[in-house]
Amino acid sequence: MKCPTCNVSLVMTERSGIEIDYCPDCRGVWLDRGELDKIIERSSQTQAPSTRQPEYPPKQHYKSDKDYPYKKKKGIWDDLFDF
């Protein structure tokens, strides 16, 4: 199958039991019927609600925005699309 955007052959890979087609050039991701439903179902299973309030460390104040260390949150999308 060809990528609709750049007309390059798509590469098929399997992540967590879900087949994903992606374009190696434009990095577009294409899902077949039912694959998005599987991704949504798995993400809702991993994000079970917690009954207990989490304990947070005391807030740290920074002098400027440059001093603040940025951390990217990881989720199910990072596991699925780690090419």
- Residues 32 and 48: their CA atoms lie apart, in Å, by 27
What is the structure's pLDDT at 16?
Answer: 79
For the entire predicted model, the pTM comes to: 0.47
What is the structure's pLDDT at 5?
Answer: 86
Nearest CA-CA partner of 24 in 35, 13, 8: 8
Q: Is the pLDDT confidence value at 20 over 80? A: yes
CB-based contact 23:6 (threshold 8 Å)? yes
14 phi/psi in degrees, rounded to 5: -115, 125
Mean pLDDT estimate for the chain: 77
